[in-house]
Structure 1
């Protein structure tokens, strides 16, 4: 069973880190090496980009079978 659960304030920091990891993993898996598409240090997506998404929209965690799955989902 897959559910979208509204992001809770106490999960915000982990959500940001999980999304950065997911973007970094996906880009490196796809391209196989670092490139000049990094927004911030070694991150494909900057912390500020994710925070803007959370603050200006509605952020959800993806849960599957009662456990967090993926890097999250942000919807404007």
Structure 2
């Protein structure tokens, strides 16, 4: 039996995304985003809530659009 992973839709009312959602949108591995956060050297920086990382949806979309050029 194959496991099915369902993705929750990213709704317009949410301003912050999880690392998993951000990685899926950008096409990067989650670990890449965690390294950006750890070394503070990525093109976008997360917002920290304790040990939890959240990513600004506006910054994620801005970065994604800049990569299309």
TM-score category (smaller protein)? under 0.3
* TM-score between both structures, scaled by the size of structure 2: 0.27
Q: Which has the higher strand share?
A: 1
Quick one: higher RCO (CA 8 Å, sep 6+), 1 or 2? 1
